[in-house]
Amino acid sequence: MYDLIVIGGGPGGLRAAELASHAGMSVALIEKDRLGGTCLNRGCIPTKALYAHIVGGKGERDGLWSRVEATMDKLRQGSATALRMAKVKTYRGTAAVTQWEGEKKISVRKEDGSVEEIASSRLLVAAGARSVRPSFAGNDLPEVLTGDWAIVDPLLWDPERNGDVRTVAVLGAGVIALEMAMMLQNLGKNVILLKHSDQILRRLDGDVKKKVGQIMKKRGTDVREYVRLSEAVQEGGGLLLRGTAKDEPFEERCDRLLLASSMEPILDGFGLENGPVRVAKGCIAVDDAMMTSVEGVYAVGDCTGGAMLAHLAEYQALAAVSHMTGGSYRVDLDALPACVFIEPEVATVGLTEEEARARGEEIVSAKAHFGANGMALAMGEGDGFVKVVARAAGRTILGVHIMGPEAASLLGEATLAVAKHLTAEDVANTIHAHPTLCECFRDACRRVMEE
């Protein structure tokens, strides 16, 4: 019998298995597909590999798809090696929990049809999430792709094979939708952005959203708001979309439709349906130690809802294993970083102005623009800003919102500042090398001090 069985080999499951094994537990991990989960195989990694080449210019367009696949293969091999070095037993197959309470019993159906029964004293579920497929006629046509599979379709992204795709409609206005829309535009495709409302990147800071909207307009993106699709019909090798926009009928023609509006936790296929684990609001309910309603059963990552981010899943795994071993680590959601890989990049951590005020905080905020930053101008990328939101009393940094060159890489210092409750003065008085992009964060903090 194992000390811990992990269901799911995505970022959260992998991290939990390694941490638990290093803590002295005997660990088994069950994965029905490939290690790395959606992030590595159909999400973060292929998206960013494409972004680096298509937007960042990190390599020629020729051979692009081969380089993307090579990146994913190398990371899969790395995950397998890490598990092997940690002495985690890996099972390739579909898990079904047959006993949740007391001793945990799991049936593993392997690819050859054979079944193996294994047991453990603890269980951690990291089942992930999948794209929601909205209900409309024709939503399952071959030309209709969900956001968690579209990114690995070479007929959409490979410049050597995507010549027949000229116009792409993207349903959604969140991170996945915008990242794919902008990359497709950079590949020379016409993009039609179909939004459910008038919002864009709904949870982000208001100034960032305003700037993104301006950029989309400048790029000539065809945007329709308050869209409700009623059907997609195959026509002339592509699709004819019908529906309403602002309650007025519309028709659009495209070669592909990408469904990138939202994701939902995976709650079926592994025995949860008839088990005792509590499900609330469409996800597995957990406490701050990531423990479910059943003693000894934990859940991490996208199946628990909330912000569906690979790095959050990893730190939730840390919280779960910490609890198993008597530790006290818990995830601070007020210091959760997130990035949007568009052009220019967006990166954010902590509270927006709107969120801070909703909590009753008295705040001050200030911005520093990359147009005054020496490195940004030297790079020819002076568009964007760093915005700092701080508590009025004492100027403790509550949130940092960046839009500009290498924003995602700049977010590390900002996240540390928010997590450790640093003040604007703490950052402003710390020496920042010159000329560097991070000076823009320092300058924003200086301006907060002056407010």
Q: Catalytic site residue 434?
A: yes
* DSSP letter assigned to residue 218: H
Q: Which domains does the chain have, with CATH numbers?
A: 2-130+264-331 (3.50.50.60), 133-261 (3.50.50.60), 335-450 (3.30.390.30)
Helix (H, G, I), strand (E, B) or coil at 185: helix
Shortest CA distance to 201 belongs to which of 210, 193, 209, 191? 209
Catalytic residue among 401, 421, 432, 434: 434
The C-alpha atoms of residue 21 and residue 93 are separated, in whole angstroms, by: 21
How many CB atoms lie under 10 A from the CB of residue 228?
Answer: 14
- Which DSSP string corresponds to 351-418? --HHHHHHTT--EEEEEEEGGG-HHHHHHT----EEEEEEETTTTBEEEEEEEETTHHHHHHHHHHHH
User: Cα dihedral sign for 396, 402, 407, 408?
Assistant: positive
Per-residue pLDDT of the chain (451 residues; tens, 9 = 90+): 999 999 999 999 999 999 999 999 999 999 999 999 999 999 999 999 999 989 988 877 888 999 999 999 999 999 999 999 999 999 999 999 999 999 999 999 998 889 999 999 999 999 999 999 999 999 999 999 999 899 999 999 999 999 999 999 999 999 999 999 999 999 999 999 999 999 999 889 999 999 999 999 999 899 999 999 999 999 988 999 999 999 999 999 999 999 998 899 999 999 999 899 999 999 999 999 999 999 999 999 999 999 999 999 999 999 999 999 999 999 999 999 999 999 999 999 999 999 999 999 999 999 999 999 999 999 999 999 999 999 999 999 999 999 999 999 999 999 999 999 999 999 999 999 999 999 999 999 999 999 8
The secondary structure of 78-112, three-state, reads HHHHHHHHCCCEEEEEEEEEEECCCCEEEEEEECC
221 neighbors 170 (Cβ within 8 angstroms): no
State which amino acid sits at residue 138.
G
Q: What is the pTM of this model?
A: 0.95
Question: What proportions of the chain, in percent to the nearest 5, are helix, strand and coil?
Answer: 35, 30, 35
